[in-house]
């Protein structure tokens, strides 16, 4: 029974990745991190009221400003259209958060703006996930086994 299963698995071929291992592992880790961020944001919208859009704390403001600069940089430099869309949405989310840190808005509009900002961030995450999945679809393929190893029954 085990021998037959082993022969069946061997006859299907092997997995081939047309990229270097560092890029492949890095994008796989990035895919997992972005998926967890998306699940966290969706969970936050479903089970709690998003009411904070302003960015508090100097390290958080510096991080948001850095994310804004990098997303604008990648928007103009990256050739993939999905990555450009994701970068534009990430820049919009970061700039909205930074602007609302220094602007005074009424407490009644904060939840609406926080909800809109969260939706923009989720769409950005989804576009990045689609771009990574598309990259994996292009570089990962099944290679058939060599002719000598194939068992035709």
Give the Cα-Cα-Cα angle 20, 26, 29 (nearest 5 degrees): 140
User: Where is 19: in which H helix or E strand?
Assistant: none
CA–CA distance, 90 with 48 (Å, rounded to integer): 22
More confident residue, 129 or 11: 129
pLDDT digits (tens, 9 = 90+) for 52-87: 666 777 888 898 899 999 999 999 998 889 999 999
3-state secondary structure of 105: coil
Percent of the chain's residues with pLDDT above 70: 82
Residue 9 is given by DSSP the state H
Q: Which long-range contacts (CB under 8 A, 24 or more apart) does 52-55 make?
A: 52/110, 52/114, 53/96, 53/97, 53/100, 53/110, 53/113, 53/114, 53/117, 54/97, 54/100, 54/101, 55/97, 55/98, 55/101
Q: Residue 100: pLDDT band by 50, 70, 90 thresholds?
A: confident
Crossing angle of helices 110-139 and 81-102, rounded to 10°: 160
* Average pLDDT across the chain, whole number: 83
pLDDT higher than threshold 50 for residue 153: no
Q: Is the pLDDT of residue 50 over 70?
A: no
């Amino acid at each position: 029974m085990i021998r037959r299963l082993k022969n069946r698995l061997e006859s299907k071929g092997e997995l081939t990745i047309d990229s270097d291992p560092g890029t492949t592992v890095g994008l796989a880790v990035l895919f997992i991190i972005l998926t967890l961020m998306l699940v966290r944001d969706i969970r936050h919208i479903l089970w709690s009221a998003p009411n904070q859009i302003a960015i508090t704390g100097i390290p958080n403001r510096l991080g948001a400003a850095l994310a804004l600069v990098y997303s604008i940089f990648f928007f103009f430099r990256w050739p993939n259209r999905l990555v450009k869309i994701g970068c534009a949405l990430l820049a919009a989310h970061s700039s909205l958060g930074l602007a609302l840190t220094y602007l005074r808005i009424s407490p009644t509009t904060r939840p609406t703006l926080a909800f809109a900002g969260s939706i923009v961030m989720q769409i950005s995450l989804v576009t990045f996930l689609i771009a990574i999945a598309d990259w994996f679809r292009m570089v990962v393929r099944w290679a058939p086994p060599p002719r000598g190893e194939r068992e035709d029954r």
